[in-house]
Each structure stands twice: as structure tokens, then as C-alpha cells.
Structure 1
Amino acid sequence: MTLVLASGSRIRGDLMRNAGLDFEVCPSDVDERAVEAPLLKSGATPEDLALILAEAKANDVSERRAGDLVIGADQVLAFNEQRFTKPDDMEAARRQLLSLSGKTHELISSVVISRDGAAIWRHSSIARLTMRDLSPAFIGHYLANAGDDILCSVGGYQLESLGVQLFKRIDGDYFTILGLPMLPLLDQLRALQVIES
């Protein structure tokens, strides 16, 4: 049995490697927007979206990896009945940051373990983040220095680098903010006897 990460995310891979996990990377082919479109129409909550997308990714890869344990993850940013995805370009990132300036939003990170095309474990965690009041000039300076890497993150920031300067308060788990709730995941991998307890 092999442990597989169904994501090409550098940050998720780094978190797992830094925790000492031995795994392979096999990104999912799931079209996230196609999966979430009917969910949004039906009024699914942000937590529902994150969990269903994480499960879709894990199941997609586990159908091709018989017997292996596949980890799928997804993150949703919820703010005032809106859902933010990864910005398409720097202008979209600028608009998102202006919207979030001085306000609190939630990051919902879900993780699912699947085997043979079916989920065997699911978990979601929520973090609440409050941004400082950001001037348009500061946002422009931040975007110029942070670079295109922020386009890989919902909300247009990466807390593990310059994005930390955007915030005045954070309530929640650091790993949830980075997009992979590591502590519950490690507990489950111990329960499944994948890693030593």
C-alpha cells in the first residue's frame, strides 16, 4: 500500500514531507468548477463545497490506484455569503484583497482519505482571519513583491510568506490556513497504521 497525495500543490507536499511522510504525488484530473456548479445552485455551504471537492479529488485518483490510500484536499474562502477562488490574475487578486481589507473571512480546509474509489475518512477545519485596513497603495506594493505565486492561493495571499503582513488577527490552526489540516490527518494515518503511533 502506498500513500498518495492527489494534489500538485507545493505547499501541501511540503507539509507532508516536513512531517516525515513517505508518499507519491498524483494530481487529480477533477474539473473543480464543473463539480461545484450544481452544488452552488443547490445552496451548498462553503464547508460542503470544500469537503465534496476534496472527496472528488481523492476518489478520482484512488480509482486508478488500487489498494493505495489517497489523500485529497480542498480549501474554500468564505466571506459575506461570497466564495473566493484562486484569482485569475493580479487585477483579480487586487480586487479580492480590497474586498477583504479590514474585514474577517473564513478559510475552510477539508481533507479526505480514499481507497479503491471510496472515501474512508473525512475532516474539515475552519480558520477565521481578520485583515488590517489596507490602502490601495499598500496592496499594490504587496502584489508587486509577492509575485505570481499568490495566484495559486484563494484570496490572493500566502500566510507563510509576505501575506502575513496583511493580517491583524487569526483564529485557527496554521495548517488549516495553508490548506491541509495536518494534525487530524496524522491522527488518522496513525489509526490506519500507516505511520507509527
Structure 2
Amino acid sequence: MSQGFQRQPLILASASAARRALMAGVGLTVELHPADLDEEAIRQAHADLSPARQAVQLAEAKARAVSEVHPGVLVLGGDQILEDDGAVVSKADDLAAVADRLRGFRGRSHHLHSGAALARDGQIVWSAVDTAALTVRDFSDAWLETYLAAEGPALTSVVGGYRLEGPGAQLFRRIQGDYFTILGLPLWAVLDALRDQGVIDR
């Protein structure tokens, strides 16, 4: 493969629209092969690890699993974990649960840990994690109702109940960390690793 500055094919082992958009946005062509894994079981198996390390373990598991059935091709796996006061937060089941979650975040800070890993032939060749801290403003209940109506059930597909690239940006008073990490990948580290692996030009 030789298209622009990309020299090798790359598989993205994720169904995340945000990660797919990030790769396309920086000019990379990826094949999509989401990993079919029991993520909760993997998380529970590593419950003794910090939430940040759990994100790495999940990213590695995705990359490894997909690379085993696509020999010779580099596979990128990613995972994001939301940590609130030391606890791992899962996706909400419905909009009512999203509303409860956001009320719980109101006026407080939480963390997003984005892990990424590269694998080839079932072997991890690189992994990393980056963390961002997000402080939610003291929004009104009226604003929350408007937000939920505007975004709708799609909010149950994102762990925090918000998309920073959409109206969810209005939830926050302060963010400390990298924008791409919040979207789902430690992008700068991923790009460096792809250069090291010869996928893109230096």
C-alpha cells in the first residue's frame, strides 16, 4: 500500500464512530473489524488494576484478537474507561439513567482514560494510555431537559452521556487533558507508534 504518507494497511478493531472519524481526519485509511469480545468479563478479570490500566488491557485484548485472524496486518485497538471517584462507570441503559448520571456529575470532576494498543499476528507491539480530567458545570435542570431532548437515545451509546464534539461540550466548566483522548484515542502517541511501525512516514 502506498497512498500519500500511509505505507502499510491498518485495521481498526473498534466499532467506535469517534475513533473511525479520528483516523479519517488525520488522513489514514483503515479497515474496520470490530473485536467480538465480552468486554465486561475482561474488565472483571482485571478488576484489581487501576481504571487506566483496565483501559489498556481492553485495548490490547481487542487488538490481539483481531490480529490473530488477519495475519501480517497491524491492528489498532482502543478502549475508554470513565472513572468517577475511583469507580468505573458503565454506559447507561436509557435516557433516565443518563439524566441521573449527569446530575451526579454536576459541579464535580471525573476522568476519562483512553487506552490504545497495536498488535500483529496476535502479539502486542505497543500500548499506551492517556487521561483527561473533566469538570462539569452546575447546569440547571431546564438546561438538562433541553440537552436530553436534543441528543436523544444516542447518549446511551457513550459512557459519560455526552459527546464533546456536540452539544455535550456545554456541560463543562473546565477540561484538563487532550481533546483526542476525550474522543477515545491518545492520538499523538498512536501516530508516533504508527511511524515507528512503518505505517506512516516520519
TM over 0.5: yes
Alignment of 1:32-47 (within 5 A): 32-40=39-47, 43-47=48-52
CA distance in 1, matches of 2:96, 2:79: 24
Which of 161, 164, 167 pairs up with 1:162?
167
Query: Distance between the aligned counterparts of 1:37 and 1:189, measured in 2?
Result: 30
After superposition, the C-alpha distances for 1:41-90 in whole angstroms (9 at most, x for unaligned) are: xx321011101111111111011110110000000111112211221111
RMSD: 1.1
SS in 2 for 1:97: helix
**1:134 counterpart = 2:125:** no
Aligned runs of 1:142-181 on 2, under 5 Å?
A: 142-181=147-186
Matched letter for residue 43 of structure 2: E
Bigger shift: residues 10-19 or 142-151? 142-151
**1:82 correspondence with 2:93:** no
> Alpha-carbon deviation of 1:181?
1.3
Find the counterpart in structure 2 of residue 10 from structure 1: 17
**Which of 190, 196, 202 does residue 191 from structure 1 map onto?**
196
- 1:37 partner letter: Q
TM-score, length of structure 1 as denominator length: 0.95
Structure 2: gaps (5+ residues): 1-7
Inter-partner Cα distance in structure 2 for 1:192 and 1:44 = 28
Q: Where do 5+ consecutive residues of structure 1 fail to align?
A: none
Q: TM-score, normalised by structure 2?
A: 0.93
Q: Which amino acid aligns with 2:15?
A: G
% of aligned pairs identical? 44
1:30 aligns with 2:30: no
Deviation at 1:168, TM superposition (A): 0.5
Match for 2:14: what amino acid? S
